[in-house]
Amino acid sequence: MQVRTRFAPSPTGYLHLGGLRTALYTYLFARRNGGTFILRIEDTDQEREVPGAVEKIYASMRAAGLTYDEGPDVGGGYGPYVQTQRRHLYLPHAEELVKRGGAYYCFCTKERLDEARAEAEKKGESYKYDKHCLRLPKEEVERRLAAGDMHVIRQNVPPTGRAGFDDVLYGHVEVDCSTLDDNVLIKADGLPTYNFANVVDDHLMAITHVMRGTEYLSSAPKYNLLYESFGWTPPMYVHLPVVMRDATRKLSKRYGDPSFEDLLEMGYLKEAVINFIALLGWSPRSEREFFTLPELEECFDLEGLNKSPSIFDMNKLTWFNFEYMRKLPFEEFLTLATPWLSKVLDPAKFDFRRIAELLNTRTEVLNRIPEMVDFLAEMPEFDNELYTHKKMKTDPAVAKAALAMMRPVLEGVSDWTEESLHAAIMERIPETGMKTGQVLWPLRIALSGKASTPGGAVEIAYLLGRDEALRRLEASRSKL
Ligand code: GLU
């Protein structure tokens, strides 16, 4: 079988992480099986469409490295790949379905439907369309269609019996037809609903495997009834469990959870995000945690999918990112770090290469860089208690002595390189009878005003430059 999979987002704004995971698994499954991966834009619900969202989808797919073989902006033999451009295809299929008895025209007014809905609500029943228009005489239907009466086309779900389908993860799923509603397939504006378009398009695009969220699990029996009415073979279904924020809540942008774009903007590496997302619901069944996209393409399989909801743990993602960041070749890291350094530091004044060297193995996420280095631009306020450190055996009194002693040492360094600074400081310490930490710890704090900094006293003194380092040393000393 020639595997063909599709990712079918609706352009409602951004690529949320659950969507990215569906896209990733769909892509990986196609690649692993030498198949074709398709992007289809599902934009028939025009009220929900957000301007610019389609372009965002293309950009996100590119950023994630999920290249599609067929799609709106790349073409392919099964296009068009945007549902509103396929509108001419749906109506004839719905009419065919009417002929086959799987659907019917419905002329019910909004008032009638609203009334029936209110009635059901009053009785505490769940609303279902009562098949009123299925019972209209054929002549009346034809007359009203010819007269141009407003109408929709509904699915004709059998009143009795069972409907089901097979899911790779959930096995055979079956429901009583009596629980299913006669959904609208073609709306009054002539556009299909998702319920219809997904079936027609998956068939016409020869999709063999459909992966999507479990929110579609309960509708899938109805879709299978449509396949049966058409006499088509349904695709294999893989419904993926939801991605949760915690034990009780779904991951959702509405509650401030980040989208894929947000993560990239925050300075997460796409490789880290992809690696992390891949493991949200799939396991290689080994202890291995690190996978590049090409490696995932080699080993992704449906057997490794997990049926229980996975929890999106931001700390875990940050840990992945830290690991990826640490392993980045230096030049790449420098390029990525430079714009973040520039937010708080003047490149004419600071040695960005050296700062990046210090940050390369210490950065969790790029957006943390400004707060890690802004002390270089401006000395922060700090409390003298910062000098107290038990293990280093320092306190403000020790600091006072250490700084007084370091001042002439630093002043004596003329070329202001790290080597000279280091040599001068290390040469002096043994003569004072103090421990190295008792000097270096206070000196670093006196120069940075912070308990933790990328780099130690020597690196910071070098980065600040002679004048600024001596100025800070003096200011901190006189504060003691
Ligand atoms: N357009 C649907 C969505 O964005 C896709 C569902 C499917 O993959 O069939 O949720």
Q: Where are the alpha helices (DSSP H) in 181-244?
A: 194-204, 220-230
Burial of 344 (0-12, 13-18, 19+ CB in 10 A): middle
The CA 302 to ligand 1 mean position distance, Å, reads: 19
Kindly report the number of other CB atoms within 10 A of residue 323's CB atom: 15
Atom of ligand 1 nearest to the CA of 194: 1
Residues lining ligand 1, Cβ inside 6 A = 8-10, 42, 198, 212, 216
Q: Could you say which of 131, 253, 400, 435 is catalytic? A: 253
The CA 41 to ligand 1 mean position distance, Å, reads: 9
Residue nearest to atom 4 of ligand 1 (CA): 9
pTM higher than 0.85: yes
148: left (phi over 0), alpha (psi -120 to 50) or beta: left
The CA 145 to ligand 1 mean position distance, Å, reads: 32
Candidate from 198, 202, 203, 227 with most ligand 1 atoms within 8 A of CB, to mutate: 198
Atom of ligand 1 nearest to the CA of 12: 4
Kindly report the number of other CB atoms within 10 A of residue 447's CB atom: 30
Q: How much is the pLDDT for 49?
A: 79
Query: Hey, what CATH class is 384-478 in?
Result: mainly alpha
Candidate from 216, 218, 236 with most ligand 1 atoms within 8 A of CB, to mutate: 216
Contact assessment for residue 188 and residue 150, using Cβ atoms and an 8 Å cutoff: yes
Candidate from 68, 194, 209, 214 with most ligand 1 atoms within 8 A of CB, to mutate: 194
Atom of ligand 1 nearest to the CA of 212: 8
Counting as low any pLDDT under 70, the low residues of the chain are none
Q: What is the pLDDT of residues 81-111, one digit of tens each?
A: 999 999 999 999 999 999 999 999 999 999 9
The CA 38 to ligand 1 mean position distance, Å, reads: 13
* Statement: 84-240 belongs to CATH 3.40.50.620: yes
The CA 420 to ligand 1 mean position distance, Å, reads: 63
Burial of 255 (0-12, 13-18, 19+ CB in 10 A): exposed
Q: Decide if 253 is catalytic.
A: yes
The CA 362 to ligand 1 mean position distance, Å, reads: 40
How far apart are alpha carbons 59 and 357 in whole angstroms?
A: 31
4-81+243-311 in CATH: which number? 3.40.50.620
